[in-house]
Amino acid sequence: MPYLWPTVATFFWAGNFVAGRIAVQDIGPLSVGALRVAIASPILFLLLWWQEGKPHWPDRREAILYVSLGALGVAAFNLLYYSGMKYTMASEASLIMAVAPVTTAVLAAIFIGEKLTIWKLIGAIVSFAGVGLVVGADLGVAGYNPARLLGDALILAATLAWTGQMIISRVAMTRASPLAVAAYSGVIGMLFLVPFGVWETATGSNQTFSSMPSWGAILYGAIFANVLASVFWNVGIRDVGASRAAVLSNLMPVIALLLSVVLLSEVLLPMHLAGAALVLMGVWFTMRR
């Protein structure tokens, strides 16, 4: 069953939208991000040691790549993602982040010279039209909601941080394995993130660290959505190839929508569904060759 592992990884990532929304209800978003990475990074490093032997000290170019990934794809992403989840719905966040393949294609063309085809341009336009519908869904029903719009904006910024990580990772993985890249950048990202979590706690923000649902959601994000999903995804790429695995990842917003409705009782509007259709259509256009 070669498609099993990438499908499981996609399900774990989809579930993290629900977990993220639960985690930030009682614990601050900066602390949630710091705790998630602080739990996941040592596990990734142990896996690296087990699979590839004693890790080597990165050379200068590798160190620059790992610091860039840690700052952008780990620290900035987690800070923006969990801050956004504080204010927006899990379903909306999943639809906004579904444009990641589109933003990756466009920015890869700008920064690393990948070919930008007419299909990718059409995909970008269609996908962002879908995001516009998703963000505008609440405006049409409840009027101006600055908190919700702030959350959507933060999730979009997190998507761009994730896109930057994907582009830098392509360069880094020409010099090291995907697991090594994840482990080194995770540790560096943890060094960036922990001070934010400490500051949030020290400033006396209203947090309840005894909340079992929040801790369960943090552990889910660290172990299932970070460590296991990464391992399973890499196995899937090995077994079925990157292109076919990428198609399976398009199921993530669909699964996340269903989980958000079932587990969080979120209400989807017709504009949400129309936006979802446009986002997925845009991703399909982008992946055409």
Nearest Cα to Cα of residue 67 among 188, 194, 187, 166: 188
- What average pLDDT score do residues 37-55 get? 89
Tally of CB atoms within 10 A around 205 = 13
Q: Does residue 229 contact residue 9 with C-beta atoms inside 8 Å?
A: yes
**177-227 confidence digits (pLDDT tens):** 888 888 899 999 999 999 999 998 888 666 777 789 889 999 999 999 989
More confident residue, 289 or 54: 54
Residue 232 pLDDT exceeds 90:
no
**105-153 confidence digits (pLDDT tens):** 777 777 777 777 787 778 778 877 877 777 776 665 555 577 888 998 9
Nearest Cα to Cα of residue 218 among 72, 28, 48, 70: 28
Task: Specify the range with the lowest mean pLDDT, choosing from 184-193, 233-242, 279-288.
Answer: 233-242
CA 280 to chain CA centroid, Å, is: 17
* Residue 243 confidence (pLDDT): 57
pLDDT band at 22 (very low <50, low <70, confident <90, very high): very high
> CA 10 to CA 273: how far, in whole Å?
20
Q: In sequence order, what are the residues at sequence separation of 6 or more whose Cβ sits closer than 8 angstroms to the Cβ of residue 69? A: 165, 168, 169, 172, 181, 184, 185, 188, 189
Residue 241 pLDDT exceeds 90:
no
Residue 247 pLDDT exceeds 60:
yes
| Identity of the residue numbered 74 | V
Q: Is the dihedral of CA 172, 124, 161, 90 positive or negative?
A: negative
